[in-house]
Amino acid sequence: MTWLPDALQYEFFQRALLGCLLVGFTNGFLSAYIILRRLALLADALSHSLLPGLAAGAIFFGLAPAGLFVGALVAGVLVCLGGVLISRSSRLKDEAAIGALYTMAFALGILLLRYSSVRVDLEHFLFGNILGLSDFDLWMNYAISLLIVGLLVVLHRPLLLTLFEPSVAQSQGVPVNALQLLLMAMIVLAMISSLQAVGVVLSLGLLILPGATLYLLSDDFGVIAWGGGILGAAGSCAGLFLSHWLDVSSGPVIVMVLGACFIASYLFSPKYGIVTRLLRPPHLHEQSYERWGTKNQRDHPRIAASVAADAKNKADAPASENARPSA
Amino acid sequence: MAHLLELEDLTVSYNRVPALHHVSLQLRCGSCVGLLGPNGAGKTTLIKAIAGLVPLETGRIRLHGHEVRASARTVAYLPQRGGVDWDFPLTVRGLVEMGRYPALGLFGRFTEEDHRIVDDALRVMRLSDYADRHINALSGGQQQRAFLARSWAQQAHVYLLDEPFNGLDKTAQKDLTDALHRLAADHKLVIVSHHHLETVPDIFDHVVMLNGELVVAGKTSEVFTPERVAETFSIEVFSGVHAHGHGHGHHH
């Protein structure tokens, strides 16, 4: 375990760790809202629509981070608003409208990158490099994290009403449309803030995996949101250390760590895991006897037979039968 | 005289086709009102108009003499059960507490009074024993009552329910009927869209019969007659079936 303090003494690594904490927590916290509002596909679309913005930013402002930031933000917001506009003013649903727009945006981005004179390292934006965080990147992470987590906490109640039942929320006077747009804007911002860390495509993993993991573990919204934030931060840091130790690039490792947590909760979640469910008895034996058995067991031959078989099993193996305490 | 919901000259259109055409009527608080009519008669539209969910082309809606706006907490809208995400991480108590959100605003803390109102709502809707269950672990009738309890906690005066009896078995229907009657007895105005004509006299003391336009509104015992039902259901294409299938045996 000597590698850990070694890495920590480098400034670039400390920056990377701070970046991981900020980006991981913010994305993980927002993740709960994305899962519950079923915005995962929309977030995917938005991640691709950032590309032309980055390209345009590079063309107009060079590779200055501020220019890239503004470009990506404008592109994301335009696709969002355009999608909402088209879905409201036509019979298309919003996922189709946004799907149409984001592919156009992505194609435009590729053209811009290929035929512009600016040399942009495409791979850098696709996969990020958290070890190269600049001061601007870190300040941006701070600002965006503060803004997003702050807004989500302040607007917790109206957002929860909107997420659960938009029409009821609207009838209660909640500005449902404005909140949904705000949520989209927050997704764009969160994605931009994780660009440098994990890149365009992998930022999606940070936005979806923590919420999806916690959604399979808990029935409490607070636990899903805050737990998602903590899991996102912890998973990002763990991924960073792991990638340093393995000497591979950090973005994919961070997403793989979060992905492993997701698969584990899918399989082994106490309540909703598929393996857990398979291991459980097919029905609630004791409770069923309590409800129907005592009343019917004398009259119903099949239940009587099963009760007799149970009693026999218990007599055969009295010590190991913890699953069926007493009939 | 002020305890009235007044609809005046209401028109609502979708793509220029009117779903409701110049409807005017008055409903008194403390009654349980059934909205009847064939598919496409504007039952859901009328409910959404009162809830402030669709823009009015003409007309206005007043409660206790004041214009009802979209933000009015006094009007509670209950969605159709199929449209709700029952996997949402929420307990019954959590759902009912949502009814207090509009009154509390963004930061207002839950006070003793709020908890008392929530407990009261759970008790009135006979859900106290289920308060800590996940909303998915309720039966259909209990889910309806959970939403009613939420509206109660919102301290609503007008309850709007869109086809709540769909898919409920006999016991659950009786259960929901009792719950609605308790609300009406507490001087609330309960407005329910409904299409099982046989059960109308058991559930509703007043009916509003719609067919895009208002056919008739009044006490069930006075206006819910075979002739009126035939009139309501005969203008639409499917009317023949409805009028013959349901048009008899409901009135005594």
Q: Which of A171, A213, A216 to mutate to test the interface with B (most CBs of B within 10 A)?
A: A171
Residue linked to tokens 């791979």: A123
- Highest-confidence range of A51-65, A287-301, B24-38, B62-76, by mean pLDDT? B24-38
- Token pair, residue A299, equals 């009259």
User: Using one digit for the tens of pLDDT, what is the confidence trace for B150-190?
Assistant: 999 998 889 999 989 888 888 888 989 999 999 999 999 99
Nearest by CB: A171 against B52, B101, B107: B52
Contact at CB, A36 and B89, closer than 8 angstroms: yes
Contact at CB, B76 and A215, closer than 8 angstroms: no
Contact at CB, A220 and B78, closer than 8 angstroms: no
Contact at CB, A172 and B89, closer than 8 angstroms: no
Asked if ipTM goes beyond 0.85, one says no
- Token pair, residue B241, equals 């079936």
- The mean pLDDT value of chain A amounts to 83
Q: How many Cβ pairs closer than 8 A exist between chain A and B?
A: 69
Contact at CB, A163 and B89, closer than 8 angstroms: no
Contact at CB, B98 and A160, closer than 8 angstroms: yes
How much is the pLDDT for A295?
55
Which band of pLDDT confidence, cut at 50, 70 and 90, is reported for residue A323?
A: very low
User: Using one digit for the tens of pLDDT, what is the confidence trace for B120-141?
Assistant: 999 988 899 999 999 999 988 8
> Measured between alpha carbons, how far is A82 from A98 in angstroms, rounded to an integer?
7
In chain A, what are the domains? 4-208 (1.10.3470.10), 284-323 (no CATH)
> Which 3 state secondary structure label does DSSP give A92?
coil
State yes or no: pLDDT of A71 exceeds 90. no
pTM: predicted TM-score of the whole model, two decimal places: 0.80
Q: Answer whether B32's CB lies under 8 Å from B203's CB.
A: yes
Residue linked to tokens 């889910």: B143
User: Which residues, 6+ apart, have CB-to-CB distance to A37 below 8 Å?
Assistant: A163, A180, A183
Longest dimension (CA), chain A: 87
Cβ contacts of A175 on chain B, cutoff 8 Å: none
User: Using one digit for the tens of pLDDT, what is the confidence trace for A136-180?
Assistant: 888 989 999 999 999 999 999 999 999 998 888 888 888 998 998
Nearest by CB: B85 against A164, A172, A219: A164
> Measured between alpha carbons, how far is A327 from A290 in angstroms, rounded to an integer?
9
Nearest by CB: B84 against A161, A165, A223: A165
